[in-house]
Structure 1
């Protein structure tokens, strides 16, 4: 079967690693990102077969843009077997700074509204076919809030809850909803972090485990498993102990701060 994967945020990091893993498995690719030219340059550099992928330049934070890309994918390549809503942004914020409220709004526009808009064009067609996988990329950061990381943590908590809701809605349709929560992955998104990142993982190793998870149709997984254990412990940790544990932890860089 000549299967197709639609992947957002495919111009860097996890998105590229997932695209390469799917290509290696023989899938065709629909690659979406704002920087379409960068995808083309990368695809040629790693030797992706030109007749096996198509690039859709779009802005996930713009509902009209990302839904148009989804419809264009269906028209040009058919209905995907997997839609991976990977695009996301991570910027520190301080609620006492008025400008950072816009950071919160922009984060939710990309990480949450953009995720739902990514799925939207494909749902009816997948339901009619009776198969497919809608994959939301969450984060272990969505399990408990980290100081200075309110926008990202809350957005990823919302990804987890949204995908859980969608999974219930599509339960009898044959369409799987898969939530994958990465721990720390060595990508441009994490390299500027000024705090320790336990169990840091290479993007290609993450992509391999994510690919297997999606193929198995699992509903939820934290990758790597060690971060899953840590996340469960943090979730049940009493608030006073959790707050003490994070006291003095460096905050996420805010927009415009030096690194």
Structure 2
């Protein structure tokens, strides 16, 4: 099993790497770990290699850098061949308001990381997967992409774009026997959600989410909302008329505008 995961230094990405290592606990398992924080990646590599006998390659980089991702992909494939699964998990969330000029940079960063990061992650592997006649591409979207949430214009827009992009990619890859899976999580316990000071329904621990994500990937599902309770809520959200949605969201809590410095 060969897996390439972006956003692997924390949260869902880290949990996915750990779960893959647990499931494929042998020296034939290769996991590519990609994130900006080199120290975190190094610690995760040591942990996985010591506890689960897997081999890890680490690539400290920013998914906004398509050249760096292409080099990482090339190095990984040169060393280990075409990965079986590529998971684009890197993502950021920050409260944004259009009437604040200083939020323009945040809008740009969220879109670049959450949308273009998917493209930068997948593109270097597609030719090799086509040649191999198989492969799995996985994009992590969000329930927030189903309807626009107040105070989260950048995040909701980026995840809506991710869902639509992944749908287009899925159709494009079908003839090449490359599956594309879109996973839209609800609230997952992580640094990203820790800053929220409002109630988060159906909050799920990252390790439990990782188990469900990988089950979804192995079943080659097309689009899945996790947890299932949030899936039913998402179905309901799709069909709420705009005037009712506007009324319901008037007093909805907003994500904090200044969570941390990641730009």
Q: TM-score range by the shorter chain?
A: over 0.9
Give the secondary-structure state (helix, strand or coil) at the position aligned to 2:201. Answer: coil
1:85 aligns with 2:80: no
Q: Which moved more, 1:70-79 or 1:16-25?
A: 70-79
**Cα deviation, residue 98, structure 1:** 1.1
Aligned residue pair count: 255
Question: Within 2, Cα distance between the matches of 1:231 and 1:242?
Answer: 13
How do 1:87-236 residues align onto structure 2 when only pairs under 5 Å count? 87-236=90-239
Question: Within 2, Cα distance between the matches of 1:33 and 1:256?
Answer: 19
How do 1:3-82 residues align onto structure 2 when only pairs under 5 Å count? 3-26=1-24, 27-45=29-47, 47-49=50-52, 52-82=55-85
Give the secondary-structure state (helix, strand or coil) at the position aligned to 1:83. Answer: strand
Q: Deviations over 1:50-79 (max 9, x none)?
A: 651111111101111222211121112221
Question: Within 2, Cα distance between the matches of 1:252 and 1:151?
Answer: 11
Unaligned runs of 5+ residues in structure 1 are none
- After superposing on structure 2, the runs of 4+ consecutive aligned residues of structure 1 that deviate more than 2 Å are 42-51
**Cα deviation, residue 210, structure 1:** 0.6
1:245 aligns with 2:243: no
**Cα deviation, residue 45, structure 1:** 4.1
Instruction: Name the CA shift for 1:152/1:217 in 2 (closer, same or farther; >3 Å).
Output: same
Q: Deviations over 1:97-129 (max 9, x none)?
A: 112111111111111111101001100000111
Give the secondary-structure state (helix, strand or coil) at the position aligned to 1:189. Answer: helix
Question: Within 2, Cα distance between the matches of 1:90 and 1:52?
Answer: 31
Contact 1:89 1:111 in 2 (8 A): yes
**Cα deviation, residue 48, structure 1:** 4.3
Question: Within 1, Cα distance between the matches of 2:2 and 2:159?
Answer: 26
Give the secondary-structure state (helix, strand or coil) at the position aligned to 2:82. Answer: coil
Question: Within 2, Cα distance between the matches of 1:208 and 1:50?
Answer: 20
Question: Within 2, Cα distance between the matches of 1:11 and 1:95?
Answer: 30
Contact 1:60 1:118 in 2 (8 A): yes
**Structure 1-normalised TM-score?**
0.95
**Cα deviation, residue 44, structure 1:** 2.8
Q: Which moved more, 1:235-244 or 1:117-126?
A: 235-244
Question: Within 2, Cα distance between the matches of 1:48 and 1:149?
Answer: 39
Give the secondary-structure state (helix, strand or coil) at the position aligned to 2:175. Answer: coil
Question: Within 1, Cα distance between the matches of 2:105 and 2:69?
Answer: 21
Contact 2:22 2:52 in 1 (8 A): no
Q: Which moved more, 1:248-257 or 1:34-43?
A: 248-257
Instruction: Name the CA shift for 1:174/1:75 in 2 (closer, same or farther; >3 Å).
Output: same
**Structure 2-normalised TM-score?**
0.93
Unaligned runs of 5+ residues in structure 2 are none
Question: Within 1, Cα distance between the matches of 2:45 and 2:131?
Answer: 32
